[in-house]
Structure 1
Amino acid sequence: MKVAVLYGGVSGEREVSLSTGKGIIQALKNKGHEVIGIDFDPSKIEQLIHLKVDLVFIGLHGRFGEDGRIQGLLDMLDIPYVGSGVLSSALAMDKAKSKQIFATNDIPTALSQSYQVNRYENRSVIAAEVKASFTTPFVVKPNQEGSTLGLTIVKEESQIDKAIEIAAASDTVILVEEYVGGREVTVPVVGKQGEETALPVIEIIPKSDYYDFDSKYKPGGSEHIVPAKVSDELTEQLQNYAVQAHQLLGCSVYSRVDFIINENNIPIILEVNTLPGMTPTSLFPDSAQVVGLSYDDLVEQFVTLSLPNKS
């Protein structure tokens, strides 16, 4: 088939997306597809308007890639694409909205509160509300951002103002949530809508205090243990929650669901990634490899699941 791969983009995750795109392009070529690589820029929409391909593989991360906007454009152009549609992408990107959906359906979440920055006279009012509602440590982060960009773990009240400033630089809505310490795990989900299965659970052991940007993307920044050394019962619970979260948001083809296992051995859901990192050494391919699925075969499976019609 003729497949266009969109990668790069203009979000804070551009560098990661460049690597994801490179991996996907090579895998598709290895599988015999004709591939067009497009370093996507929203100001150059004409790159897509006259595109003549059988399928688009979205290798973008963050804004204008993972938030439903590029999906909406491709829908209007009647170009099929790999992955989740407009609504599920937007919901997964909106941490506050997705957490409400998870909590309503009995998937444990961290206590949180969102604040629309421009509704407040000044940020000191937000800081006062945060101080009244949360006790340290807690997390301040942009509501719609990936790769822990703009995130601060507030350990002392003197950090609140700066944490709000950092988060608000990335988004008009900030999310404050209780800090949940514990083991960081993630669960890849793949399959036809309604028939998804979870791949092996991955435990992430960051070299820094938490799984930040450097831990995710710098060589040696973290260790991945696949499958995670957790009980069979907890593995099943994590996989069930992951598939349930994927389905509740209406995701398609694949996603990766992040959790913290707290001190009471309860999985607390963090978020659903509708376009997780797909470099050959990323978490998703690491897990797939354990069940005998090579990187190239995994990419080809995503393509197959996306045809002939998106759901």
Structure 2
Amino acid sequence: MQVGVIMGGVSSEKEISLLTGNEIIDNLDKDKYEVVPIPINTQYELIDRVRCLEFAFIALHGKFGEDGRIQAILESMGVPFSGCGVLASALCMNKDISKKIFVSQNIKTPEWVKIKNEDEVNYSKINEIGYPVIVKPNNGGSSIGIIIAHDEKQFKEGIKKALKYDEEIIIEKYIDGDEITCCMLNGEVLPILSIKSKYGWFNYDSKYDEDGAKEEVIELTDEKMKKVEKIAYKCWDSFKLKVYARIDMIVKDNEIYVLEINTLPGMTKNSLLPKSAAAYGLNFSELLDKIIEYSLE
């Protein structure tokens, strides 16, 4: 089977996409697949390069990767592709819409507001939420453009920074708890990982630096594990997820808050999904086999 690995792209996460793509290429079983690297720099060069593919492995991140647009193009061309479909990708990419769905499904998520510019800020509402707050692009990933603001000065700086990456931004209550991530494969919950960043929170450097964070399988109490699994399955069903995804959460006391869902989680050597799969018993090559198998189903 000819498998094209689409990487690069047009978003601020292009460099991470290239790392993901090259890691996937290195680990795909060459005895099973004819692997074709497809680095792209624009949206327009995609169509001619994927037209004859038997399968497209999407290694893009951010805009024109996780937002449903490339999925729509591949679907319209009849090219099978990895991961979630158009609807799930679009919903999960938009943090404001995701959080509204969380609320509608009685899934706890940190309190938030969405704005398009600094003039829309309701400072009485921000004070009601209480500092510190997280300021981040509404559509984005890899913690790019995100800042934790502890006061109004940092808050205003955070707005300017986030608006460089997106037309809408989210201001979210900072929950001081334990970060965990729940990776799912074909609707099944894989081993839960705890995340302890040496930078205080799981920022860009934590995700991609060697030893930027300590990520290990965590043993939750039966009660918390049942809560996490229930939330994960509810997310899977509510967002129409398929094949694989990663759900990021914060545990504080006995409460579990969902931060966001990643429909194309990173697949670099430091990424969380391969680590969780390894704890489950799947090496990287086997994980890629499963993703292709479940995507074709």
TM-score normalised by L of structure 2: 0.95
Is residue 178 of structure 2 the alignment partner of residue 170 of structure 1?
no
Whether the aligned pair in 1 keeps the contact of 2:192 and 2:276 (CA below 8 Å) is: yes
Task: Mark the runs of 5 or more structure 2 residues left unpaired by the alignment.
Answer: none
Displacement of 1:210 in angstroms is 0.6
Displacement of 1:127 in angstroms is 6.1
1:176-199: per-residue Cα shift (whole Å, max 9, x none)? Answer: 1111011000010111xxxx1100
Is residue 184 of structure 2 the alignment partner of residue 189 of structure 1?
yes
Displacement of 1:98 in angstroms is 0.7
Amino acid at match of 1:24: I
Give the counterpart of 1:148 among 143, 147, 162: 143
- Compared with structure 1, are the counterparts of its residues 285 and 31 closer, same or farther at alpha carbon in structure 2 (3 Å cutoff)? farther
- Compared with structure 1, are the counterparts of its residues 292 and 131 closer, same or farther at alpha carbon in structure 2 (3 Å cutoff)? closer
Whether the aligned pair in 1 keeps the contact of 2:38 and 2:49 (CA below 8 Å) is: no
Q: Where does residue 233 of structure 2 map in the other structure?
A: 243
Is residue 295 of structure 2 the alignment partner of residue 306 of structure 1?
yes
Displacement of 1:37 in angstroms is 0.6
Distance 1:128 1:269 in 2: 25
Q: Where does residue 101 of structure 2 map in the other structure?
A: 101
> How many equivalent pairs are there?
297
Distance 1:50 1:237 in 2: 41
Whether the aligned pair in 1 keeps the contact of 2:95 and 2:138 (CA below 8 Å) is: yes
Distance 1:244 1:67 in 2: 21
Q: Secondary structure at the residue paired with 2:28? A: helix
Alignment of 1:9-88 (within 5 A): 9-48=9-48, 51-88=51-88
Amino acid at match of 2:167: T
Displacement of 1:306 in angstroms is 1.2
Whether the aligned pair in 2 keeps the contact of 1:127 and 1:164 (CA below 8 Å) is: no
- Compared with structure 1, are the counterparts of its residues 31 and 281 closer, same or farther at alpha carbon in structure 2 (3 Å cutoff)? farther
Distance 1:265 1:31 in 2: 48
Amino acid at match of 2:134: V
Displacement of 1:153 in angstroms is 0.9
- Compared with structure 1, are the counterparts of its residues 243 and 280 closer, same or farther at alpha carbon in structure 2 (3 Å cutoff)? farther
Distance 1:19 1:125 in 2: 37
Displacement of 1:289 in angstroms is 1.0
Distance 1:300 1:131 in 2: 46
Is residue 220 of structure 2 the alignment partner of residue 230 of structure 1?
yes
Amino acid at match of 2:275: D
Amino acid at match of 1:25: I
Q: Where does residue 255 of structure 1 map in the other structure?
A: 245
Whether the aligned pair in 1 keeps the contact of 2:138 and 2:170 (CA below 8 Å) is: yes
- Compared with structure 1, are the counterparts of its residues 204 and 10 closer, same or farther at alpha carbon in structure 2 (3 Å cutoff)? same
1:35-60: per-residue Cα shift (whole Å, max 9, x none)? Answer: 11111223433554662111101011
Whether the aligned pair in 1 keeps the contact of 2:4 and 2:50 (CA below 8 Å) is: no
Displacement of 1:25 in angstroms is 1.3
Distance 2:50 2:190 in 1: 37
Whether the aligned pair in 2 keeps the contact of 1:88 and 1:251 (CA below 8 Å) is: yes
Q: Identity of counterpart residues, as a percentage?
A: 36
1:40-87: per-residue Cα shift (whole Å, max 9, x none)? Answer: 223433554662111101011111111111111111211110111111
Alignment of 1:280-299 (within 5 A): 280-299=269-288
Amino acid at match of 2:268: T
TM-score normalised by L of structure 1: 0.91
Q: Which moved more, 1:10-19 or 1:23-32?
A: 23-32
Distance 2:278 2:127 in 1: 47
- Compared with structure 1, are the counterparts of its residues 59 and 84 closer, same or farther at alpha carbon in structure 2 (3 Å cutoff)? same
Whether the aligned pair in 2 keeps the contact of 1:189 and 1:243 (CA below 8 Å) is: no
- Compared with structure 1, are the counterparts of its residues 31 and 238 closer, same or farther at alpha carbon in structure 2 (3 Å cutoff)? farther
1:117-154: per-residue Cα shift (whole Å, max 9, x none)? Answer: 3xxxxx24426465455321111111001011111111
Distance 1:237 1:125 in 2: 36
Give the counterpart of 1:199 among 190, 205, 209: 190
